[in-house]
Amino acid sequence: MWERRPSLLLGVLWAVLLPSSALAAIGDAEVATIEFKKDTVPAGIAHSEHMTLLADELAYQGTGQVPATWVRTQPIPIGFAWAIPDGVDVWVSVDRRHSRAKGYEHLSDGMRPYFRYGIDRKHWSTWIQLPENMNGYRERGDFHYSYRIPHSARSQWPHLWPEWSEKDKSWDLSRFYRWVEREHPEYLSQEIAFIGYVQVLVEWPGYSLEKLSIQRVKVFLCWGLGGAQGTRLSEDGKPVENPKGQRLPRWDFRLQNEPPEKDATAPRR
């Protein structure tokens, strides 16, 4: 089961697209809880071939001969359908049980969580390791990392945006990236200027690990945008009213020729 909780207004001040005269910033959060129960695991979840999905857990029983055991979540969308942030706070926790081989019983299970981000589901950043959460908010996760894309890593985007905005006044990033895919497709593999999807990978060193069972993985994502970005604009720049009382739609940009997600591939570094 993949549980998604309602949006939370957090008031985080991260101006991304609009100038400093924009309205007060808004924040939001996304919680994905993945329950490992047979026939209920969502599409896009992957794990190492040495693990087996049982009735209510993902299990590994090893011989100490595999270098690593891992599980990877589906891409989790953040931001709005028309605007996404350039930074995110990531918390991860895993409910699990483990045992070590004789002589290694005193060791922890050596769990290492990572995350990566992308605009679409094909082009990703490298994996970034999350350290143990030492900054409070323990209820959000045992591991935490606060990340923002460096401005110097967005060197090409400021040159493309003015060219597009002459034709379209919507400030809609999904429309912008659809135009980029058509007019400047090489850019998509050269630079990731914003964060539309987050994916989490959790690894355990296989050596000396005899047994491991995972009940659930919880991912808590917190992000913020300039306040005016909460308003969707039409192509000619006029506000489009959001449905009252409804959750604002999340980012869902996909390439026209995007390959299907493979469930059994080893994670790339």
Q: What is the pLDDT of residues 118-163, one digit of tens each?
A: 999 999 999 999 999 887 777 888 999 999 999 888 889 888 989 9
The beta strand positions in 10-139, using DSSP E, are 26-35, 46-47, 51-53, 58-61, 68-72, 76-77, 87-100, 112-118, 128-129
If one compares 191 and 16, the residue with the highest pLDDT of the two is 191
Identify the pLDDT of residue 209: 80
Torsion of CA 254, 27, 36, 72, to 10 degrees: 50
At residue 247, the pLDDT reads 72
Mean pLDDT of the chain: 80
Architecture of the 2-149+194-229 domain: Sandwich (2.60)
Is the pLDDT confidence value at 95 over 70? Answer: yes
In the chain, residues under CATH classification 2.60.120 are 2-149+194-229
Query: Is the per-residue pLDDT at 113 higher than 60?
Result: yes
Token pair listed for 46: 């992957």
pLDDT of 50 strictly over 70: yes
Residue 262's pLDDT band (cuts 50, 70, 90):
low
0.95 surpassed by pTM: no
What integer pLDDT is reported at residue 139 of this predicted model?
A: 82
Determine the pLDDT at residue 235.
Answer: 65
State the pLDDT at residue 64. Answer: 63
pLDDT score recorded for residue 210:
82
DSSP structure class, residue 183: H
Q: Check whether 107 has a pLDDT greater than 70.
A: no
